[in-house]
Structure 1
Amino acid sequence: MKDKLRIALVGNPNTGKSTIFNALTGLNQKVGNFPGVTVDKKIGFSKLADGTSLEIVDLPGTYSLYPKSADETIVFEVLSDRNNTSHPDLVLIVADATNLKRNLLLYTQIADLGLPVIIALNMMDLAAKGNMEIDIDGLAKRLNVPVVPIAARKSQGIEELKKAIQYQTHASFQNPTIDVEVIAPGLIRAISDELNLSNPYVALQIAHQYKNIRYLTKPQISKIEGLEKQYHFHSQKSQAAETIARYNFINDILLDTVKYNSVALEENISNKIDHYLTHKIWGFVIFILILFAIFQSIFAWSEYPMYLIETVFVWFAEMGHRFLPEGALTNLLIDGVLAGLSGVMVFIPQIALLFAFISVLEDTGYMSRVTFMMDRLMRKVGLNGKSVVPLIGGLACAVPSIMSTRTIENWKDRIITIMVTPLVSCSARLPIYTLLISLVVPKKYVLGFINLQGLALMSLYVMSIMAAILVAWVMKGIIRSKIKGYFIMELPVYRMPRWNNVGITMFESVKTFVTQAGKVIIAVSIVLWVLASYGPSNKFEKIEQKYDAPGLKSQYSKSEIDRLIASEKLENSYAGVLGKSIEPAIKPLGFDWKIGIALITSFAAREVFVGTMATLYSVDGDATKMESVREKMAGAKNSSTGLPIFTVASAFSLMMFYAFAMQCMSTMAVVYRETKNIKWPLIQFTYMLVLAYTASFIVYQLLK
């Protein structure tokens, strides 16, 4: 027996595959890409009772081995190519017990590839509620594979599943479910001889998919193309014949192993709830109310933990200045790295809450209903219903959301979706929004329960979604295509959220946010501290000499002189020169040169804005007075007018800029990677920058 087994986790969408993956692996997971493509590769690790190590590869959800997207193509490549680094020793197929007929289609295809298989029959609790009786032993005997009944959401059957995995590693391959050779006998034999294949179904699948299979060479593709012409192969007719044969096989088995209660079933609870949650009017009202509750909670529940994190970082800064020797290295660590990190770490509670709410909405099945409702609106602006998934996903991050547009077959719909998805407010904007809102929006309640800060935050998110829809409508008339899109989606039943899954999602999301943002923040903070601490020629020496005059020493205290020196040095530093150079362009928006520096540095990633502000005000501030970044920004004054820099007008103007500007290099990179054309990210960057400047200008001029 092997010391390590690789298991491929396969199943239809919405069968609970992710739940089983998390139940088997817990937090022992990592995410990468399948070799040569940008499709996510999620791997988890576990151990059996006998000490065998498991490497579990979570393959993209698919209804069939015949792919409709790039993600689904990966499934056949991994399962059919024994040289693939993810090729499994065992396939674990997750099937929905309440919809066996459709789910078993995928099983029959994988079984015919000749791989060892276990069926995890999930949602057995729902099958029982639906008056279904499944003969598990009879089903396993007819299919000649282990069938393990589980209810993954309740963690029932997971241990039995592990035991089945341990047993199946000794088992032989199951029998083919249908005779695939009768579909195209001559072609299958010819392809098998050409590629030295022992499995006829692999040969048949290659006949259908050879143009998209990456492990085939160009000469092999040309040879297969010639063989198909020679044998007059018709792909669609062949698929139809195969599907009919498979469903005949499935129907015979289910007739003997599945029984339904003959009593007429009342309308189930999910359908009753859907009458209200997907209503053409009340559905949108309820969705807005749910968003309202989420953003109220983000402000209310995160306040205390954010205060604790701020306090901890202020204490670290105080201890650093007290015990570390004075010098450039200490200043770099405290005013550069520590200040930059504090600007990001303080928003962990809000990021965690946002992802927790998104996870709950997805887990309960409500997010699918939002997608369904928004489909009506999407079609009116010329988008495919599938565009809703990336747009909703954009609330978390635009990068994976843009990658998910591969499921949209229509080229025009996909391009428009890619172009507008970054307009949806992502988690990277949340620290900027909450910081600026806390500075200028009073922390008070209207009608006793409506938090004005939460209301302002929700308005920004709703505005971002409406902006994406409006821009999509404009692009609908600019980008031409005659092909019509379509939208097929299955609505899962409503369920209670799986709190362990919510916890894992929160942990993984926060870890990703902190590690990815943290790397950028540290790099930018170090560079920014150097630029803010040093200046051209001998300007710093002249500033020292200026404040060394006896008259000034008698006029100001030592701490005031130190603050004035620090402020003037920052203004004359390399960073100050950079900020001053763009200040004329951004002054009509209500921004000063310090904000200008933040706008430039945050092109690497939006969340760098907060770290930049923290670093700049740490370099500029009084070293004897340790304050949080919010306190520093709240007390910032314009050197010319003496008025606060962050007023209602300038803060909302800045929020408008970040709401619309493309300030994320990762997003631009993934847009180029997905479109394979530099013009699309350049167009996207340009139109978003113009939109951001215009919106910011209008808001500032109206509110100042």
Structure 2
Amino acid sequence: MKVALVGNPNTGKSSLFNILTGLNQKIGNFPGVTVDKKSGFCKLADNQVVSIIDLPGCYSLYPKTQDEAIVSDILSDKKNEFHPDLVIVVVDVTNLKRNLLLYSQVADLGIPLILALNMNDLAEKEQIAVDADKLSELLGVQVIKISARNNEHIEDLKKAISNAPSFAIHSSAYSIPQSSQNLVDKISHEFDYDNEYASLLLAHQYSAAKHLSKNETDKLDSFIEEQQFHSADQQVEETIWRYTYIDKLIKECVQIAPKPIEPSLTDKIDDVLTHKFWGFAIFFLILLVIFQSVFSWAEYPMALIENLFSWIDEVGHQYLPAGVFADLLLNGILAGLGGVIVFVPQIAILFAFIAILEDTGYMARITFLMDKLMRKVGLSGKSVVPMIGGLACAVPSIMATRNIENWKDRIITIMVTPLISCAARLPVYILLISLVVPDDKVWGFFDLRGLTLLALYILGTVGAVFVAWIMKRLIKGKEASYFIMELPIYRKPRWKNVFLTMFDKVMTFIFEVGKIIIAISIVLWVAASYGPPSRMDSITAKYESPELIDSHSAAELERMESSERLENSYVGILGKTIEPVIRPLGFDWKIGIALITSVAAREVFVGTMATIYSVEGSDDDTANIREIMAAAKDPQTGAKVYTTATAFSLMVFYAFAMQCLSTIAVVKRETNGWKWPAIQFGYMTVMAYLASLIVYQLLR
């Protein structure tokens, strides 16, 4: 049985989905559109397994956004592959009047329903009493009181799902107006719809329906013109009728205790957290705590991961027969993977904090605060949501711009979102900060490393705002923009939800990045281990000469030969070719190779450096990538490669550069061409080069 969860945003629908499915879930996209699809499986008390799909939050079946259009299409079209056998409409019982509008529309589609009255614990605190039995009798559906946050009465809901097939089908609430009946009959007959309200929905929104052919759209055009159907007027009349109906329901089934009119706890907290000065100061402090924690809390698990990979490498060298396969496995794949996996604890901590901020309701306040700032550079607050999402990953954030109706605002948001420092930049930042920034305490819990990381995130945000301000003046557009959002009440974070979010993001990072790292590590190892035969033969002859053998130890000879072979390998030749271009930034040819490979994904930089230094060899075979890079020296000058100037120059380069093929691909898809991705890649590369050049020349 296919079960769909439907509800307004902020009703706890996704929390219920997490409880019902646990870890038995997956996230993807609906076919043909960039809207998240969460699906999973739930085991009921009778050992029956049902498929659960969490549909995007929406306020009405008359869509204003891509998310709402998906919900409307799936529920009204029985031929849709995701059309459910049962719908659970999740409503916030403290906001029953507004939430029941969507319920009444879904009910009229004739799909078997369960009404889940969520946040029952909050309703009791606010002395809102809902007679669920009376409501069930009036609606003709099962009505279950639950609290997804506290995991209360979930078993009752599961029993209701089991009983759903045998429960009487509810009656429709809304009657099709006489003026629209002929049109509805025509559509029902022509398109084989057995539900009148589904036919009416098609009449309202057929122009945006992707499943219709041009002939079908033309046919509906003629029907609409012939019947003189005015969609906007009909929607207003229907909405008024539905709210009148809902008012009667609430009068019969809901009792609200009178209470004095005074600011709620949420209002009192908002007076501080959304204050024009203290709001930004507290937000800055929260960011500082997050980035300091990323360093402080991750040290021990990072050391464990480094020791694990060192042990695997040691065992591999001990038991695997020497040869090409062992070299590829240990110096190529293992070194590349180990260099990136070691940063998983930091990424987990970052995503855990983001999940907590979302779960408590504070992320919505950040959006509200940033809206004021964005308006000063000419964008609406709708651009803030994707940009904040960019802290995790630019790809879904750029997909989220589909909710921005204003074309100009949407293009500008797409163009600047990759400047927001994402989780992929975190391994690069942490590696370089740990090389040159001491962990000296600045004040109590905070040290210089946490402050530096915060500064890099602020730098990316300032860069995005600055570019948005310039583009607002360069790109022409006349549409007015607006921003309406609902601020949820503050709640305690649900730790299970936080864990599931963190687990999902970390697994995505490991497997998605892991595939790229393995592929690039193999190619890189081959290119770093082999070179033009003439060069390699001359190096072999050089290190077989008696003079060198007599004057150096075997270990020294091996290290010197490995280093020279790397320099003359295919990857070394490529690095030496681009070195003159990047030398003014303080980068050597090895860093240049990492810049090229990390165009695939930013975090590949770390894996590339690990592979290159592993192929080259070092004095200490058990040293990790951080220790090897800290000890790296320029063969000509003998000076450290990773000086403060070089490290900060590299960090600033990565703060601005477009080093992500996935982002380029999604921008191409969202803008229907290569024009905007080319402009984006070009301006970000120039911006990164110039900023890096300035930083290096100032600090050298």
What is the distance in 1 between the residues matched to 2:586 and 2:19? 51
- Matched residue, 1:466: 462
Partner of 2:515: 519
SS at match of 2:91: strand
Alpha carbons 1:420, 1:468 under 8 Å: kept: yes
**Alignment counterpart, residue 692 of structure 2, candidates 688, 692, 696:** 696
- The letter for the 2-side match of 1:112 is D
Q: How does 1:594-613 map to 2 (within 5 A)?
A: 594-613=590-609
Q: TM-score, normalised by structure 2?
A: 0.99
Question: 1:30 and 1:449 mapped to 2: Cα distance?
Answer: 38
Aligned pairs, number: 700
Q: Return the letter of the residue paired with 1:122.
A: N
Report the Cα distance in structure 2 between the residues aligned to 1:228 and 1:153, rounded to whole angstroms. 46
Counterpart Cα distance in 1 of 2:166 and 2:376: 56
Which residues of 2 match residues 288-687 of structure 1 at below 5 A?
A: 288-622=284-618, 625-687=621-683
Instruction: Give the whole-Å Cα distance in 2 for the aligned partners of 1:290 and 1:662.
Output: 28
Q: Is the 8 A contact 1:562 1:622 kept in 2?
A: no
Superposed displacement of residue 196, structure 1: 2.1
Match for 1:163 among 148, 151, 159? 159
Contact 2:310 2:624 survives alignment (8 Å): yes
CA distance in 2, matches of 1:373, 1:605: 31
**Map 1:213-292 → 2, pairs under 5 A:** 213-292=209-288
The aligned residue for residue 121 of structure 1 is 117
Q: Which amino acid aligns with 1:41?
A: K
Could you tell me which of 2, 7, 19 is aligned with 1:11?
Answer: 7
Note closer, same or farther for the CA distance 1:183–1:116 as it changes in structure 2 (3 Å cut). farther
* 1:86 equivalenced with 2:48 (yes/no): no
Q: Separation in 2 of the partners of 1:186 and 1:649? A: 76
Q: Which runs of 4+ in 1 moved over 3 A?
A: none
Per-residue displacement from partner, 1:315-357 (whole Å, max 9, x unpaired)? 1111111111111110000000000000111001000000000
SS in 2 for 1:216: coil
Q: Distance in 2 between matches of 1:35 and 1:521?
A: 28
In structure 2, distance between residues paired with 1:464 and 1:486: 25
Q: Which moved more, 1:83-92 or 1:352-361?
A: 83-92
Corresponding position of 1:105: 101
Tell me the secondary structure at the aligned position of residue 78 of structure 1.
Answer: helix
Give the secondary-structure state (helix, strand or coil) at the position aligned to 1:211. Answer: helix
Q: Deviations along 1:455-505, whole A, 9 cap, x unmatched?
A: 100110111111111111111001111111111100000000000011111
Rounded to whole Å, the distance in 1 between the matches of 2:321 and 2:618 is 17
- Counterparts of 1:196 and 1:84 in 2: how far apart (Å)? 14
SS of corresponding position for 1:362: helix
Which deviates further from its counterpart, 593-602 or 121-130?
121-130
CA contact (8 A) 2:140 2:169 kept: no
Aligned-residue offset at 1:677: 1.9
Shift of 1:122: 0.6
Partners of 2:278 and 2:634 lie apart in 1 by: 48
Distance in 2 (alpha carbons) for counterparts of 1:647 and 1:148: 63
Q: Deviations over 1:508-565 (max 9, x none)?
A: 1110000000000000000000000000132112112112222212221110110000
Deviation at 1:48, TM superposition (A): 1.0
2:32 aligns with 36
Q: In the alignment, residue 308 of structure 1 is paired with which amino acid?
A: L
Distance in 2 (alpha carbons) for counterparts of 1:234 and 1:81? 22
Give, in whole Å, the separation in 2 of the partners of 1:43 and 1:523: 30
Structure 1: distance between partners of 2:176 and 2:13: 28
Aligned: 1:63 with 2:59: yes
Aligned to 1:192, which of 185, 188, 191?
A: 188
What CA distance in whole angstroms lies between the structure 2 residues aligned with 1:149 and 1:432? 48
Does the 8 Å CA contact 1:384/1:408 hold for their aligned counterparts? Answer: no
- Counterparts of 1:378 and 1:521 in 2: how far apart (Å)? 37
Q: Within 2, Cα distance between the matches of 1:182 and 1:398?
A: 49
Counterpart residue type for residue 328 of structure 2: L
Task: Give 3-state SS (helix, strand or coil) of 2:411's partner.
Answer: helix
Any conservation in 2 of the 1:183–1:238 contact (CA below 8 Å)?
Answer: no
Aligned residues: CA RMSD: 1.0
- 1:180 Cα deviation from its structure 2 partner: 2.1
8 Å contact kept, 1:180–1:242: no
- The CA distance in 2 between the partners of 1:343 and 1:506, in whole Å, is 21
Equivalences for residues 175-214 of structure 1 within 5 A:
175-182=171-178, 184-214=180-210
- The CA distance in 2 between the partners of 1:488 and 1:608, in whole Å, is 39
User: What one-letter code is carried by the residue in structure 2 that aligns with 1:60?
Assistant: P
Deviation of residue 217 (structure 1)?
2.1
Higher mean C-alpha deviation, range 185-194 or range 612-621: 185-194
Structure 2 portions without partners, runs of 5+? none
TM-score by length of 1: 0.98
Contact 1:529–1:619 (Cα < 8 Å) also in 2: yes
Which ranges in structure 1 are unaligned for 5 or more consecutive residues?
A: none
1:183 shift after superposition: 5.4
Displacement after TM superposition at 1:214 (Å): 1.9
CA distance in 2, matches of 1:442, 1:623: 24
Q: Secondary structure at the match of 1:153?
A: coil
Take 1:214 and 1:302, find their aligned partners in 2: how far apart are those partners? 47
Bigger mean CA offset, 125-134 vs 505-514: 125-134
1:250-293 CA-partner distances (Å, limit 9, x unpaired): 01100111121123143211111000000011000000000001
Q: CA deviation at 1:447?
A: 3.2
